[in-house]
Amino acid sequence: MKELRFFGRRKGKAIKQSKQQLIDYLLPRLTPVLPKAGEQFDMTHFFGIQPQEIWLEVGFGGGEHVAELAKKYPNIGIIGAEPFINGVASLLAHLNGSHEKATTHTDLEEGRVDNVRIWPDDVRDMFPFFPDKLFKRIFVLYPDPWPKARHAERRFINQANLIHLNRLLADDGQIFVATDVAPYAEWAIEQVALNGMFEQVNADTAQPPIDWVPTRYEKKGIEAGRKPIYLVFAKKSMK
Ligand SMILES: C[S@@+](CC[C@H](N)C(=O)[O-])C[C@H]1O[C@@H](n2cnc3c(N)ncnc32)[C@H](O)[C@@H]1O
């Protein structure tokens, strides 16, 4: 497999001991093991439940959005990918809830179902191992904008990733992109048009989609006076 280079941060401030314990004990239980080259994940035993649908969140940051969706939709299996280990630790703390202070445990918060899997790395590593049309929803929320033109190829919504996302999205699935960087939204729309296999299905990009759960980044942006832009894409129908 071609080596993919990740350009974001992998580590921030020191992780406190209770979160480190979650990384040591809970994370291995929730991290899928990559199959051998040429094989795909066995989705029947992927989650601790038999999910009605599977959703993907790319770059979950502190994981609040994944954790909240997973609680709100206990019958949905959610895969979250994030290489920033402090963010992974934060998601684990959200999933683990009041058990945070326990030591060598692999517990989820009481009452929470086992419907989240975490890839603590670049989501692109997983793409070849997912079966076609796996995801009903794919979330790319506040992706790093990489504003300099010379970094444009680092922007997540790009031609290479759109080809993967098209293969992985269910025929009636949707991709949700949110950003508060207007040039990034324009870029994403251009990239999707260039790809030619999706259509934008929301008319009012200032209006959050139904049942929208804001991310931490979104809340901070709104407080700071930035305006979210929501883009929802579906596969073009093949009629
Ligand atoms: C600006 S942050 C937004 C975090 C979160 N979605 C939110 O809205 O609060 C973008 C995140 O995407 C992650 N990211 C960037 N490229 C990624 C990739 N290829 N796979 C997984 N995560 C990625 C970064 O590590 C970073 O945490």
pLDDT one-digit tens code per residue, 183-215: 999 999 999 999 999 999 999 999 999 999 999
Pocket test for ligand 1, best of 7, 58, 91 (most atoms within 8 A of CB): 58
Q: Residue 124: which residues within 8 A CB-CB, separation 6 or more? A: 4, 161, 164
Q: Report CA(172)–ligand 1 centroid distance (Å).
A: 25
pLDDT one-digit tens code per residue, 163-176: 999 999 999 999 99
Q: Atom 22 of ligand 1 has which residue's CA nearest to it?
A: 59
Q: Which H or E element spans position 21?
A: helix 17-21
Would the CB of 155 count as within 6 Å of ligand 1?
no
Q: Report CA(239)–ligand 1 centroid distance (Å).
A: 35
Would the CB of 41 count as within 6 Å of ligand 1?
no
At residue 77, φ and ψ (nearest 5 deg) are -90, 130
Q: Of residues 107, 114, 125, 144, which has the active-site annotation?
A: 144
Fold of 17-31+50-235: Rossmann fold (3.40.50)
Q: Is 122 a catalytic residue?
A: no
The structure's pTM equals: 0.95
C-alpha to C-alpha distance for 197 and 233, rounded to whole angstroms:
10
